[in-house]
Amino acid sequence: MTIGEPRHPFPGWVGDVMAQHAGDFGKYPPNDGTPELRVAIAGYLQRRYGVTVGDDRIIPLNGTREGLFNTLLALCPEEKRGQRPVVLIPNPFYQVYGVAALAAGAEPVYVPATAGSGFLPDYTALAPEVLDRVAVAYLCSPSNPQGAVADNGYWTSLIELAETHDFKIFADECYCEIYRDAPAPGLLQIAQAQGGDPERAVVFHSLSKRSNLPGLRSGFVAGGRQSIERVRHLRAYAGAPQPLPVQRVAEHAWADDAHVEDNRALYRRKYAVADDVFAGLPEYTPPEAGFFLWLPVADSEAAALRLWRETGVRVLPGRYFSRVVNGEDPGAGYVRVALVAAEDEVRRGLTLIRDCLYQ
Ligand SMILES: Cc1ncc(COP(=O)(O)O)c(C=O)c1O
């Protein structure tokens, strides 16, 4: 229950599509992705969010992780208003945000995403001098590790803040297809409805969680025309485009929603298992979306070790996702539990966790 590696089956046609196009391993793939793949992605964005995004505003990625890194290199200026730029990062966070900020020469500013702030960072509470230096704000929704979802109001005020202080928002939406009831709203959808500068919104999506294909290494970035042009420029020199047969599989995957619904149904069953196992436990916050539980404990490492020693269940200490800021570590009092295994295995694991840590 440590790594967030999906273990549900991926669609049965993946191997066939790959084999059908195996001859294309003999060709250099286009840097920007095939037009067919970009059109399939645009179709997905239309169906999922009701947004119209030209295929020139989309670039396929080798999974979102490299995109979250390289897109910051492409879009973070060397200076903002004559000063070192700031990159805002929720705390706890997916590690690549911090690595990207440092590689781009920016100052990472970690903003607590705790129970008190609905497990999302309150960027609006930062000092105006800091906000004026912000080049990019990362936001993960549905969030890893807490499973929190940024609602319309959250996105709207973040977009307003970005307009006021002139920065871009990088929305990591790779868990957007795994939710309980209502689909999580996306940044492009809210930004388009708000009618602001389209260059502010940059979104990242992945087939890793949507289609259970973490090994395919396939995702995309979409954003404003100028932003995507800069990403394209960087990739023309330093990119590693996806092999054509992989792009063909991705094209099929983005065009198909049936397998995504089946997958979501499996996760819904596991949310129900978690709600059942932890029923009545005041410490338990049911995740809104994604496939992690973020469980409070006295000490994250001690709890993970005890669990492993006494039950054989492995989880990740929350402090491996967080930074100490002003003496506070928002991950130190949590463990992260991945609900990726089969339902019966998840029930067994969660029951052991409950009995070991909460009774
Ligand atoms: C929050 C978050 N973003 C991005 C990724 C990267 O996913 P991938 O590179 O497989 O698309 C992960 C993977 O676990 C993640 O948890």
Conformational region of residue 118, where left means phi above 0, alpha means psi within -120 to 50, and beta covers everything else = left
What is the mean predicted confidence (pLDDT) over 8-26?
97
pLDDT digits 0-9 by tens, 306-333: 999 999 999 999 999 999 999 999 999 9
The reply to whether 239 and 119 lie within a common domain is yes
Say if ligand 1 is within 6 A of residue 48 CB: no
Q: Does any domain span residue 3?
A: no
Output the pLDDT for position 249: 98
**What is the best residue among 62, 64, 291 to mutate for testing ligand 1's pocket, by most ligand atoms within 8 Å of CB?**
64
pLDDT digits 0-9 by tens, 252-265: 999 999 999 999 99
Cα 206 to averaged position of ligand 1 atoms, centre (Å): 7
pLDDT digits 0-9 by tens, 333-355: 999 999 999 999 999 999 999 99
The reply to whether 199 and 296 lie within a common domain is no
The reply to whether 287 and 180 lie within a common domain is no
What is the mean predicted confidence (pLDDT) over 19-46?
97
Q: Does any domain span residue 4?
A: no
Tell the burial category of 151 from Cβ atoms under 10 Å away from its Cβ (0-12, 13-18, 19+).
Answer: middle
Q: Does any domain span residue 69?
A: yes
Range of the domain at 312: 259-357
Residue 166 three-state SS: coil
Say if ligand 1 is within 6 A of residue 172 CB: yes
The reply to whether 196 and 345 lie within a common domain is no
* Ligand 1 atom nearest to CA at 208: 10
What is the mean predicted confidence (pLDDT) over 138-159?
97
| DSSP assignment of 279-302 | TT-TT----SBSSEEEEE-S-HHH
| Residue 142 backbone phi and psi in degrees, to 5 | -55, 145
CATH of the domain at 227: 3.40.640.10
* Ligand 1 atom nearest to CA at 207: 11
pLDDT of 196 over the 90 cut: no
Output the pLDDT for position 108: 98
Q: What's the order of all strands across the beta sheet hosting 201-206?
A: 58-61, 219-222, 201-206, 168-172, 134-140, 86-91, 107-112
Q: Does any domain span residue 94?
A: yes
How far does the chain reach from its first CA to its final CA, in angstroms? 20
pLDDT of 283 over the 90 cut: no
Say if ligand 1 is within 6 A of residue 322 CB: no
Q: Does any domain span residue 155?
A: yes
The reply to whether 163 and 119 lie within a common domain is yes
Q: Are 221 and 71 in contact (CB under 8 A)?
A: yes
The reply to whether 178 and 65 lie within a common domain is yes
What is the mean predicted confidence (pLDDT) over 210-231?
98
Cα 81 to averaged position of ligand 1 atoms, centre (Å): 32
Q: Which two tokens stand for residue 237?
A: 């020199």
Output the pLDDT for position 221: 98
Say if ligand 1 is within 6 A of residue 63 CB: yes
Q: Can you state the percent helix, strand and coil of the chain, rounding each to 5?
A: 50, 15, 35
Tell me the C-alpha to C-alpha distance, in Å, between residue 66 and each of 72, 127, 131, 295: 10, 31, 26, 29
Cα 207 to averaged position of ligand 1 atoms, centre (Å): 10
Q: Does any domain span residue 308?
A: yes
State percent of the chain over pLDDT 90: 98
Q: Does any domain span residue 301?
A: yes
Say if ligand 1 is within 6 A of residue 34 CB: no
Distance CA(179)–CA(48), nearest Å, equals 13
* Ligand 1 atom nearest to CA at 172: 3
Where is the domain boundary, 255, 271, 296?
255
Q: Are 112 and 330 in contact (CB under 8 A)?
A: yes
What is the mean predicted confidence (pLDDT) over 106-127?
97
* Ligand 1 atom nearest to CA at 62: 9
The reply to whether 202 and 77 lie within a common domain is yes
Output the pLDDT for position 210: 98
The reply to whether 55 and 167 lie within a common domain is yes
Conformational region of residue 144, where left means phi above 0, alpha means psi within -120 to 50, and beta covers everything else = beta
Nearest Cα neighbor of 92 from 119, 64, 126 is 119
CATH of the domain at 333: 3.90.1150.10
* Ligand 1 atom nearest to CA at 144: 1
Distance CA(110)–CA(294), nearest Å, equals 19
Work out the number of other CB atoms within 10 angstroms of the CB of residue 33: 27
Say if ligand 1 is within 6 A of residue 65 CB: yes
The reply to whether 308 and 283 lie within a common domain is yes
Where is the domain boundary, 255, 280, 303?
255
Mean per-residue pLDDT over the chain, rounded: 97
The reply to whether 239 and 343 lie within a common domain is no
Residue 107 three-state SS: strand
Q: Does any domain span residue 1?
A: no
The reply to whether 215 and 345 lie within a common domain is no
Say if ligand 1 is within 6 A of residue 140 CB: yes
Cα 83 to averaged position of ligand 1 atoms, centre (Å): 31
Q: Which two tokens stand for residue 192?
A: 């388009």
Output the pLDDT for position 359: 86
Where is the domain boundary, 214, 235, 255?
255
Distance CA(293)–CA(267), nearest Å, equals 12
pLDDT digits 0-9 by tens, 27-37: 999 999 999 99
The reply to whether 140 and 153 lie within a common domain is yes
